[in-house]
Amino acid sequence: MKRNKLQIVKIGGNVIEDDVALASFLKDFSAINNAKILVHGGGKLASKLALKLGLQPVMIDGRRVTDKSNLEVAVMVYGGLVNKNIVAALQANNTNAIGLSGADANLIQSVKRPVKEIDYGFVGDIVKVNSNTLKLFIENNMTPVFCALTHDREKQLLNTNADTIAAEIAISMSAYFEVELNYIFELKGVLKNIADKDSVIPHLNKTTYKKLVENNTISSGMLPKLKNSFDALQKGVFKVKIGATQAIKNNGAVCTTLSLK
């Protein structure tokens, strides 16, 4: 039996901060005919606000360390400013969007990351996506828009990597749909040379990925994205693409397509 398609798009990087690029993306996202879910970051805006408040953002291997004060900033920026502006813009594009965190309808439950070599603070590792409830939103022609916040069911909100949220949602929804996961940011794809914005690697599998990591071709900020991508493919996601906003159009735009082999 052929399954319906579901396109899950994570938007981040400089696109969110660029009003023109974001408006163009949201117009293209709204034009996707099949079911869709949007996941957004906002880390750069959170870092800017944190600095204005006298707080120092800390990143380790592309992942944010979140103390109590920086968590409050994340909630304000991710769950408030960015999420509601995106939802309002999608409504203007005739997409019936609904803004969500993982706490809403208990959609994404996580646990506070245990302290090992690094204490990441109030950062969540996802343990469950409530796919049955999320499916109800989609079946009722609503487009979920997730920010990078989850919860632990003990009243604690947790900052959670948006790339990971997108991957975990994609994996869970693969039980019901043929899922395509898109990571959209300011670059055209995974680059061979970060100084050459046109040096896109058109196809990446696990073998070539490991080689690029070993020779330090891939920057630290790209590592979580690629790790999540291959994890998603191994757990049932149909396709993963990484690239600029044009990649969601499925019109042969330059991007990086990932596969296991």
Residues 101-150: tens digit of each pLDDT:
999 999 999 999 999 888 999 999 999 999 999 999 999 999 999 999 99
Structure pTM? 0.93
The amino acid sitting at 10 is K
Q: Give the chain's domains with CATH numbers.
A: 5-258 (3.40.1160.10)
Q: What are phi and psi of 181, to 5 degrees?
A: -105, 125
pLDDT tens figures, 59-112: 887 678 899 999 999 999 999 999 999 999 999 999 999 999 999 999 999 999
Q: Is the pLDDT of residue 19 over 70?
A: yes
